[in-house]
C-alpha cells in the first residue's frame, strides 16, 4: 500500500453521516478528547465525549479531511466545536447503533484540566443504556 495515500477515515465518516441523515437516523460521533480537541470539557467523561452531529443539532457542520467543525448548543449556550479527524473513535446511528468504529490516532495524554466538584454528584448516564456499534457490511 502506498504510504502517501490520504486516509479513508474522513470519507467513511462523511458516508456514514449521510447514510444516517438519509434514513432518518441521528448520527452520533464518539470522540477521544485530548488537548487538540475543542469540546465543552464539562461534558467529557473518562476522556471521551459523544456528540450529536445531525443537521438539526448543529450549525455550519463541516466534515473535512483534517477534522470536523460545527457549532452546537450545550445547556443553551452556543459553542464552537473542533474535532481532529484522528480523535474520532466512532460514528453511529443513535437509534440502532449501526456505524463504524475507528482506532483513535496519536492521542496525547488524556485531558488533565477537567476538574470535577467533589460535592457535586456525577451526572447519571442517559436512559436507554449504552450505545451499541454494529458492523455495516
Q: Which of the four pLDDT bands, split at 50, 70 and 90, describes residue 111? A: very low
Give the CATH number of domain 27-99; options: 1.20.120.80, 1.10.3470.10, 1.10.260.40, 2.30.30.220. Answer: 2.30.30.220
Domain parsing of the chain, residue ranges: 27-99
Average pLDDT, the chain: 83
Output the pLDDT for position 4.
81
pTM: 0.74
Distance between CA atoms of 63 and 52, rounded to whole angstroms? 13
pLDDT tens across 23-67, in order? 999 999 999 999 999 999 999 999 999 999 999 999 999 999 999
CB 61 within 8 A of CB 131: no
Which of 75, 77, 88 lies closest to 49 in space, CA to CA?
Answer: 88
C-alpha cell belonging to residue 41: 470539557
Other C-beta atoms lying within 10 Å of the C-beta of residue 68 = 25
What is the reported pLDDT for 136?
60
Amino acid at each position: 500500500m502506498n504510504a502517501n495515500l490520504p486516509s479513508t477515515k474522513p470519507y467513511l465518516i462523511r458516508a456514514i453521516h449521510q447514510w444516517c441523515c438519509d434514513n432518518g437516523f441521528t448520527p452520533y460521533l464518539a470522540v477521544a478528547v485530548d488537548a487538540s480537541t475543542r469540546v465543552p470539557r464539562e461534558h467529557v467523561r473518562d476522556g471521551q465525549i459523544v456528540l450529536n452531529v445531525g443537521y438539526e443539532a448543529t450549525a455550519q457542520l463541516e466534515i473535512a479531511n483534517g477534522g470536523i467543525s460545527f457549532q452546537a448548543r450545550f445547556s443553551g449556550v452556543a459553542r464552537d466545536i473542533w474535532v481532529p479527524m484522528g480523535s474520532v473513535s466512532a460514528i453511529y446511528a443513535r437509534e440502532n447503533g449501526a456505524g463504524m468504529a475507528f482506532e483513535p490516532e496519536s492521542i496525547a495524554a488524556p485531558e488533565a484540566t477537567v476538574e470535577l466538584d467533589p460535592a457535586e454528584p456525577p451526572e447519571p448516564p442517559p436512559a436507554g443504556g449504552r450505545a451499541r456499534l454494529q458492523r455495516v457490511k
